[in-house]
Amino acid sequence: MCAAPMPPLAHIFRGTFIHSTWTCPMEVLRDHLLGVSESGKIMFLEEASQEERLAKEFCFKPCEIRELSQHEFFMPGLVDTHIHAPQYYFAGSNVDLPLLEWLTKYTFPTEFRFQNIDFAEEVYTKVVRRTLKNGTTTACYFATIHTDASLLLAEITDKFGQRAFVGKVCMDLNNAVPEYKETTEESIKETERFVSEMLKKNYSRVKPIVTPRFALSCSETFLGELGNIAKTNDLHIQSHISETLDEIEAVKSLHAGYKHYTDVYDKNNLLTNKTVMAHGCHLSAEELDIFRDRGASIAHCPNSNLSLSSGFLNVLEVLKHEVKIGLGTDVAGGYSASMFDAIRKAVIGSNVLAMNKINTKSLTLKEVFRLATLGGSQALGLDKEIGNFEVGKEFDALLINPKASDSPIDLFCGDSVGDISEAIIQKFLYLGDDRNIEEVYVGGKQVVPFSSSV
């Protein structure tokens, strides 16, 4: 008999669950039971030996439990804290120039094309499908300056069930490609329209985010107005900061009245506890302290930092300053839309800093796994809702099968004996891809494999 009337559970899984906590970068929970409510919340995560008690408390029968095979495991969904959806059009190409030249030659001309709504629909549908297939359950998207296309990205993201922030890009300065900008007044008006339309839609898991492209693309007046829009509507904010040395010098020249790059955003109310800034490779200790004091976050984009030769972010230094940090793919400066690539590049980048005696140690694979999940959720202000399998959070999860058909991982007899080994987990994180992701869940709902309706 049930202890008390309980709403039915949507899912009950038995098997291995891998996640992070703030005290343990990777916790491997073998032979556990996890229950998910109809509303997508995690109701329990306990050892399977507690099945009888849990069945009474939550009113389920043994036949309702789905048992994972011995080599399968669940991990939290990946959180991409920085990705440019329109740039997916040329992802995997055109990474042969430094940032400012790259923007002029490839990025701005491509983004200009998104005034064509059919073109936008094709690219945005593909990027949402691809990121979900690769395990990105939460994405923080830059769109373009085009309001209607940006609203379409939000609609597509919602349709596929991905959790997301979507930002209409704001630019009132662009001497390099002058047709790709708005006037200050027009961009303020269109940003307000974008925010208003998004809030009216009231998507359950897709929210607007105020998105000044970066300080070089925005006049001082405009930055202040965007800070006011974010404050008035209590919105998240995203932008770029200190990606390259040339960019920093250009910001000093354009915004000469400010102490440093961080000060430009801070004085215009754009550095808050709802802000995530991409890159930050060259931030000073003083600037990192301001980030900590404001509660602002950094999106670490190691692929892009390396591919465009922008610089290295010293993640250990960021953590020492107690600044929130997650990982981002930064498509298409980062050539891969997979967060697993971001994990691998973050480890390699950290190793390079240790090799060059800048740090005395490297980030471990487990620590970077935490950045890609729990760290990313904290960077986006979602750590009370997602990021690990803590009871009460929403079930954003990936079902991983290292032995999937056509898996890129070869397992050997020593790997497969008994419960899932640390070696299998490491092999998956270093070698696995979307072929190993059997199912993707967002808020308890299975979103991959895709349903016929999308």
Q: What is the pLDDT of residues 68-107, one digit of tens each?
A: 998 999 999 999 999 999 999 999 999 999 999 999 999 9
Q: Average of pLDDT values for 329-353?
A: 98
Which pLDDT belongs to residue 1? 56
pLDDT over threshold 70, residue 4: no
pTM: 0.98
Instruction: Report whether 130 contacts 88 (CB < 8 A).
Output: yes
Instruction: Report whether 293 contacts 333 (CB < 8 A).
Output: no
Which pLDDT belongs to residue 5? 66
Q: Average of pLDDT values for 365-385?
A: 98
Nearby residues of 191 by Cβ (< 8 Å), 6 or more positions away? 168, 170, 210, 226, 229
b/e map 110-128, b = 16+ CB within 10 Å: bbbbbeeeeebbebbbbbb
pLDDT over threshold 60, residue 203: yes
Under the banding of pLDDT at 50, 70 and 90, the label for residue 416 is low
Which pLDDT belongs to residue 288? 98
pLDDT over threshold 60, residue 330: yes
- Percent of the chain scoring above 90 in pLDDT: 94
- What the block records as the tokens of 274 is 């709802």
Single out the residue of 445, 332, 386 nearest to residue 93, CA to CA: 332
- Residue 441: which region, alpha, beta or left (left: phi > 0; alpha: psi -120 to 50)? beta
Task: Enter the DSSP assignment of 371.
Answer: I
Under the banding of pLDDT at 50, 70 and 90, the label for residue 417 is low
CA-to-CA distance for 91 and 136, rounded, in angstroms?
Answer: 16
Q: Average of pLDDT values for 151-168?
A: 98
- What the block records as the tokens of 432 is 């696995």
Q: What is the pLDDT of residues 133-153, one digit of tens each?
A: 999 999 999 999 999 999 999
Which pLDDT belongs to residue 194? 98
Q: What is the pLDDT of residues 206-235, one digit of tens each?
A: 999 999 999 999 999 999 999 999 999 999
pLDDT over threshold 90, residue 253: yes
CA-to-CA distance for 440 and 437, rounded, in angstroms?
Answer: 7
- Please list the alpha-helical segments (H only) found in 202-336: 220-233, 245-254, 261-266, 285-294, 302-307, 315-320
52 burial via Cβ count (<10 Å: 0-12, 13-18, 19+): exposed
User: What does each C-alpha distance from 393 to 36, 45, 159, 396 come to in angstroms?
Assistant: 10, 11, 22, 9
Under the banding of pLDDT at 50, 70 and 90, the label for residue 166 is very high
Single out the residue of 299, 427, 315 nearest to residue 362, CA to CA: 315
Nearby residues of 178 by Cβ (< 8 Å), 6 or more positions away? none
